[in-house]
């Protein structure tokens, strides 16, 4: 029964992962959830430890990191963020399916745990569409877009390796992609798309 397995969604920046996940969470708030990350940043007013984040000191974070507690971690400005295996299990224990939006580095690590994730690659129909979505989103300057596109090529290459993906969805038409995404999220066995050439 794949509904209980964490759903790992990955794909190049700007392909539409966040859009699909936000729509799924909006439509089914009681069925899906993100895991609660650890962070060294200070709580903002209204934030509760264990709810938005597990707030920890830098020393504690580094000790957890040394103990291989995180399946992925990142640093943004001076703050560390990490996703722990127990935090992912906790989502399932609350009766929801855990959805993870992580990069290929994180996936390699998740695959080494006993989390047994379902891996879903969201592919652009072509690279020109990806470029246009990144520009259209308006959150990055040209240099940042170039960096995201360079990283995209590595993510796509990883996705093409045998045994990386359980499913592929080409995010061409959003409603079509979302219909497949919903089925996979609910554990239905759908026919996977094929990653296009992406050589433009
Ligand atoms: N099928 C689609 N057709 C047209 N535009 C889309 C489609 N899917 C997403 N978009 C648009 O593309 C842009 C990028 O989408 P989004 O931010 O969800 O990407 P992402 O994969 O989550 O990126 P990141 O990894 O950088 O967070 C957004 O402006 C979004 O509205």
The CATH number of the domain holding residue 125 is: 3.40.50.300
Give 71 Cα–ligand 1 centroid separation in angstroms.
Answer: 25
Give pLDDT tens digits for 45-69: 999 999 999 999 999 999 999 999 9
Assess whether the C-beta atom of 6 lies below 6 angstroms from ligand 1.
Answer: no
Active site residues: 44, 137, 148
Averaged pLDDT of the chain: 95
Same domain, 56 and 110: no
One domain, residues 121 and 62: no
Greater confidence, 1 or 176? 176
**Final residue in a domain of this structure, among 43, 66, 95:** 95
Does residue 6 contact residue 88 with C-beta atoms inside 8 Å? yes
CATH of the domain at 48: 3.30.63.10
Classify the phi-psi angles of 128: left when phi > 0, otherwise alpha if psi is within -120 to 50, otherwise beta: alpha
CA dihedral 124, 153, 164, 98 (to 10 degrees): -60
Pocket lining: 13 vs ligand 1, CB cutoff 6 Å: yes
| Residue given tokens 């690590």 in the structure block | 109
Atom of ligand 1 nearest to the CA of 15: 21
Domain of 187, in residue numbers? 1-31+96-200
Q: 44, 72, 95: which is the final residue of a domain?
A: 95
Write the pLDDT tens digit of every residue in 160-172: 999 999 999 999 9
Residue nearest to atom 5 of ligand 1 (CA): 133
Name the phi and psi angles at 111, rounded to 5. Answer: -65, -20
- Any ligand 1 atom below 6 A from CB of 14: yes
Q: In terms of C-beta density within 10 A (0-12 exposed, 13-18 middle, 19 or more buried), how is residue 151 classed?
A: middle
Which of 72, 95, 118 lies at the terminal end of a domain, its last residue?
Answer: 95
Distance of CA 118 to the CA centre of its chain: 12
39 and 26 within one domain: no
């Amino acid at each position: 029964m794949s509904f209980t397995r964490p759903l790992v969604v990955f794909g190049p920046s700007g392909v539409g992962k966040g859009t699909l996940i936000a729509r799924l969470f909006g439509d089914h708030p009681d069925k899906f959830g993100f895991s609660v990350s650890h962070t060294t940043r200070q709580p903002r007013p209204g934030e509760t430890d264990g709810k938005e984040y597990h707030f920890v000191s830098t020393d504690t974070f580094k000790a957890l990191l040394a103990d291989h507690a995180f399946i992925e971690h990142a640093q943004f400005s001076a703050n560390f963020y990490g996703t722990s295996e127990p935090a992912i299990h906790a989502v399932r224990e609350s009766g929801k399916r855990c959805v993870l939006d992580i990069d290929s580095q994180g996936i390699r690590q998740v695959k080494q745990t006993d989390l047994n994730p379902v891996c879903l690659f969201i592919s652009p129909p072509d690279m020109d569409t990806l470029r246009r979505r990144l520009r259209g989103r308006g959150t990055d300057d040209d240099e940042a877009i170039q960096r995201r596109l360079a990283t995209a090529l590595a993510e796509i290459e990883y996705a093409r390796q045998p045994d990386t993906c359980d499913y592929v969805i080409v995010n061409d038409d959003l409603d079509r992609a979302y219909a497949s995404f919903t089925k996979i999220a609910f554990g239905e066995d759908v026919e996977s798309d094929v990653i296009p050439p992406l050589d433009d």
